[in-house]
Amino acid sequence: MVENSSGRTRSLSFPEGFVLVKGGRVLDPANGVDEALDLALADGVVAGTGRDLPETGAGKVIDASGLLVTPAVVDMHTHLFATGGNPDAWAGENSVFPDGFSFRGGVATMVDAGSAGWRNFDLFRVSVIDRAKTRVLSFLNIASYGMVSDLIEQHAPDFDPVATASKAKRHADVVVGIKSAHYWNPGWESVDRAVEAGELSGLPAMVDFGFFMKERPYWRLVTEKLRSGDISTHCFRGPVPVADEEGRVYPYLFEARKRGVLFDLGHGGGSFLFRNAVPAIRGGFYPDSISSDLHVFSMNGAMMDMPTTMSKCLAMGMPLQEVIARSTFIPARMIGHPELGHLSKGAPADVALWTLREGAFGFKDTVGGRLLGSVRLECEMTLKGGETMWDLNARDAADYEDIPAGAGIREGEYRIPPEKTAD
């Protein structure tokens, strides 16, 4: 039985073999939910939520007592074009294959941030996107070969908005935007061409401003160049003017947000400073999206993973509900996929279970700064489409003595005790 809004009870039934996540604190910011509820998953989607949902017919019951239950994370800034043969390249060996890193951090959806351009996106799709169990989406770099090298991203004659928009349309099921990145020249060519490609394709542009030049100040990027819905990533990088000497957030940032420009945290290996982020959070300027900028350097450096990055936001004073919102449904909407990042009935059954560990924890930024915190998120389980993809403490397993004796033996194999072996 389950209690409805009128206080009466009604019977609920779910398809045979459904998954029941029972007894957790369900935090679903998109729907304004934060309470003790059960969650039913069936046929790859959310089948319902309620108190004391029936276990009859459940194929699996997951005890979530004492855990936080949220939509799985949408990490909207990663680098996943991990094909061999390109050393020291984001479109190559600096990238990370998605399935090796997603689910263990509560992530079901990863968005590559422009590792490939229109000339090599087909390779990226067949070698990574279409093979991953993780849901992989992508920004398309305005540089035609993407991030094969920083030099390629400086070659303005190669920035082709028409070809980029055409490729984006042909892969509209996975391409979610256009990327400008790592531009070191004093002009606006990379930004302008990316925005133009965004106009032609009907997609947002994401800008990693590269090397900050006096000829193109950051405040002009977000108050003049970017459109409503466009995204400035690495918003707490060292060169970004966030706050004055008194810690007051500069008004231009709020003006840009009022124009509809969006700000992505994009931690990465060198793009997150507490000296910028802390006054921003204290001044009410939260990033619209919390993301990892995952690559082989950031994963082994201060960033580590999405749970650590989210925990840093908690340590800086962001409420838990805001941290979850800006790691789930808000980034999903920023990339044009509003079906993700929430636990509404019929939504994809992408779910993360967390322990909120309490204690004394230290968090590092990308220049070696430390911030202390008292809470740390630890991912206990991740389900994608209702299937368990990560299970830290064997919550969906049975006692080993209840497993049939023949389990783990393939057809045609024999388990012959030593005393039965012929001499």
Residue 128, domain member (yes or no): yes
Q: Check: pTM over 0.85? Answer yes or no.
A: yes
Range of 119's domain? 72-343+356-372
Whether the pLDDT of residue 6 is over 80: the answer is no
Which residues are CB-neighbours of 152 under 8 A, at least 6 positions away?
Answer: 143, 144, 145, 146, 158
Mean pLDDT of the chain: 95
Whether the pLDDT of residue 154 is over 90: the answer is yes
pLDDT number for residue 11: 59
Q: How confident is the model at residue 8 (pLDDT cuts 50, 70, 90)?
A: very low
Average pLDDT over residues 147-166: 94
Whether the pLDDT of residue 9 is over 80: the answer is no
Whether the pLDDT of residue 28 is over 90: the answer is yes
Q: How confident is the model at residue 86 (pLDDT cuts 50, 70, 90)?
A: confident
d(CA 177, CA 168): 8
Residue 196, domain member (yes or no): yes
Output the DSSP codes for 373-393. EEEEEEEEEEEETTEEEEETT
pLDDT number for residue 422: 57
Residue 132, domain member (yes or no): yes
pLDDT number for residue 416: 87
Whether the pLDDT of residue 82 is over 50: the answer is yes
| Helix (H/G/I), strand (E/B), else coil: 17 | coil
Average pLDDT over residues 76-104: 93
What are the backbone angles phi and psi of residue 24, rounded to the nearest 5°?
A: -95, 170
Q: Give residue-wise pLDDT tens across range 322-371.
A: 999 999 999 999 999 999 999 999 999 999 999 999 999 999 999 999 99
Q: Give residue-wise pLDDT tens across range 91-134.
A: 899 999 999 999 999 999 999 999 999 999 999 999 999 999 99
Sign of CA dihedral 16, 21, 22, 25: negative
Residue 82, domain member (yes or no): yes
Residue 384, domain member (yes or no): no
Whether the pLDDT of residue 7 is over 50: the answer is no
pLDDT number for residue 420: 66
CATH number at residue 300: 3.20.20.140
The amino acid sitting at 199 is: E
d(CA 371, CA 365): 8
With b for 16 or more beta-carbon neighbours within 10 A and e for fewer, the 278-313 pattern comes to bbbbebebbbbbbbbbbbbbbbeebbbbbbbbbbbb
3-state SS string for 70-102: EECEEEEEECCCCCCCCCCCCCCCCCCCHHHCC
Average pLDDT over residues 25-53: 98
pLDDT number for residue 5: 40
Residue 41, domain member (yes or no): no
Read off the tokens for 70.
């949220």
Number of neighbours of residue 75 by Cβ within 10 angstroms: 29
Average pLDDT over residues 366-387: 98
Query: Could you give the number of structural domains in the chain?
Result: 1
* Contact (CB, 8 A) for 48 and 14: yes
Find the farthest-apart pair of alpha carbons in the chain and give their distance in angstroms, rounded.
Answer: 86
Q: Give residue-wise pLDDT tens across range 242-254.
A: 999 999 999 999 9
Residue 51, domain member (yes or no): no
Percent above pLDDT 70 for the chain: 96
pLDDT number for residue 250: 98
Percent above pLDDT 90 for the chain: 90
Q: Give residue-wise pLDDT tens across range 167-199.
A: 999 999 999 999 999 999 999 999 999 999 999
Average pLDDT over residues 152-162: 95
pLDDT number for residue 423: 54
Residue 165, domain member (yes or no): yes
